[in-house]
A and B are shown apart, each in its own frame.
Chain A
Amino acid sequence: MNPFDELSIEESVRIREKKAAPGGVEDICVISAGPAKAADVLRTAMAMGADRAIHVDVKEGEDLEPLTVAKLLKQAVEKEKSNLVILGKQSIDDDAGQTGQMLAGLLGWSQATQASKVEFGEADSVSVTKEVDGGVETVKGKLPMIITTDLRLNEPRYASLPNIMKAKKKPLEKKTLQDFGVENQRRLKVLKVTEPAPRQGGGKVEDVDGLVAKLKELGAI
């Protein structure tokens, strides 16, 4: 599971456990689009505390771009009548960091990205502390809302063995993109993927004088 997504599930479960949201949490649904092994990830999420899962089957190698994922999630959110969507701030493979913001735009909802703290107030208000360049800022929105998680939000729990067993009995719905009326339309063509030019280590020096001399030689000081 993408590490930022673990944070999303943990936060959802904590909101329920701490009764942080007025009115409580009725349902935690997890959704993933990907090949068969995405179902394993969904089982892990249910072992962490999610109630049910939706697996949108996408063939191996047919990755979805963030815009397509956002369109899919928009349909899912409307169908499931969710009023809070928590996503990771970025996936650690394509590092795009877009899906949550795109979903918020498509739904016309409030968004709070890179959250390090989420607090609920009266009348469905939500205050979110966000990590920004140089520090943090706090914004206040209202449900329905999109939140993306940052590293400092929480520490995800490990799924215990009994919970892993229980998760096997929780409902996992299998769907396709067509069920949501979404096409996998790719806008970006990957022309090539290369390995970055390797950096050659320059070796070690014996002492601090050697370090200073080498830095001078390299023009760094």
Chain B
Amino acid sequence: MLCTARRVIPQQLRRHIAHEAATSACSGGFSPAALRRLASTLAILEQKDGKLNHGSLSAITAAKQIGGPVHGFVAGSSIKPVADEAATADGLDKIISVENAAYDKGLPENFAPLLVENIKKGGYTHVITGHTAFGKNVLPRVAALLDAQQISDITAIESESTFVRPIYAGNAIATVESTDSTKFITIRGTAFAPAELGKGSAAVEEGVDPKADSPTEWLSEDLAKSDRPDLSTAGRVVSGGRGLKSKDDFDKVMEPLADALGAAIGASRAAVDSGYADNSLQVGQTGKVVAPQLYMAVGISGAIQHLAGMKDSKVIAAINKDGDAPIFQVADVGLVGDLFEKVPELTEKLKK
């Protein structure tokens, strides 16, 4: 038997907004449950092939904002150098490390029980990790096992129980208060800078290893290789849309521009679906959320699902032949024209 489960939630954004005045009176901040014990936070850090993922250090920055001690967590094979490096992160009091190759691929089936045991042992009030492929996959499973309602993809911390997160593709910002005794949180990486390394000297402690079996096995991966900066953390992003017409044109126009700016390349869903660019480059509600210093949208009309992924960029520039494209409503600087003429010209002028 096969069963498909779905969920329907009424579109009630407008009503929520209307209710804001009525409900904001009860925004007390700290729940009684949170006052019972002092805050202590576990920040789950990611590693790959024995190397610490520096992007995941944002979890420590968020954890510091909670107040109270912050412990980091790492697991995998040859974990010692990873733990030692993470131990130098600013603001970290302790690193819990578990050495076991079974955790290298971050499989939720055994990683979740591992976290459950270490969270119970440490008695944490908060557990924080990035809203990354790993965090999205593993943390809800952990939260459910400990009967807590996770708070996903937060962009700000107002108090130890109150958090801010975008909903409806970033078209509304919700402030939510958690009444769970342990709060499970994934953070939007672009909203919290990574904690600095080399400033701390946390103790490294061995965690508990329940050695749960995983019924799921990791088979293979195929990751896009690129010498350009990582899309999620790049200071500059140039992004191409349907206006690029083909994969060849996409590469021919966007790559020199990216190189001239030292930028990462992104793409709209239309460009990805048409095969112009790899899936992993998609910027938007269901792709990556970026917030670089400069976001240059080329041949992208600016659908709300795309804007959800880039509207927190510091400066947005747009090149589009349609002067009425919605992208111009958010762009700090817009140029109406044929991208096949304008972009090469821009690339040449940037090189000078």
Residues of A that sit less than 8 Å from B by CB: 1-2, 5, 8-9, 12, 15-16, 21, 25-35, 37-38, 41, 45, 50, 60-61, 63-67, 69-70, 73, 76-77, 80-106, 109-114, 116, 127, 130-142, 150-152, 187-196, 199, 201-205, 207-212, 214-215, 218-221
Contacts and interface: CB of A to CB of B under 8 A. Distances in A.
A197 B178 CA distance: 24
Contacts of A87: 4-7
Interface stretch (B63-71, B86-94, B129-137): B129-137
B232 A133 contact: yes
A191 B3 contact: no
B141 A101 contact: yes
Given A105-B141, A151-B286, A189-B179, A205 B108 contact: no
Contacts of A199: 311, 316, 329-330
A106 B143 CA distance: 10
B78 interface: no
A201 B2 contact: no
30 contacts: A1-B6, A8-B5, A26-B1, A33-B8, A37-B10, A38-B8, A45-B4, A45-B6, A64-B7, A67-B149, A76-B5, A88-B6, A88-B7, A95-B165, A101-B137, A130-B133, A133-B232, A134-B224, A135-B280, A142-B215, A151-B286, A192-B20, A193-B13, A193-B172, A194-B175, A196-B311, A199-B316, A201-B329, A214-B333, A215-B294
Given A8-B4, A134-B224, A208-B335, A105 B137 contact: no
Give chain B's interface secondary structure class: mixed
Interface residues of B, number: 109
A120 to B, nearest CB: 11
A196 B172 contact: yes
A84 B112 CA distance: 21
B268 to A, nearest CB: 13
A110 to B, nearest CB: 4
A89 B236 CA distance: 29
Question: Which of A76, A89, A90 is the most central at the interface, judged by chain B CB atoms within 10 Å of its CB?
Answer: A90
A84 B3 contact: yes
B8 A66 contact: no
A142 B148 CA distance: 27
Contacts of B165: 95
Contact of A192 (B151, B175, B311, B346): B175
Contacts of A196: 166, 170-173, 311
A192 B179 CA distance: 16
A59 to B, nearest CB: 10
A106 B148 CA distance: 12
A219 B293 CA distance: 9
A160 B176 CA distance: 42
A203 B238 CA distance: 19
A171 B351 CA distance: 66
Contacts of B222: 135-137
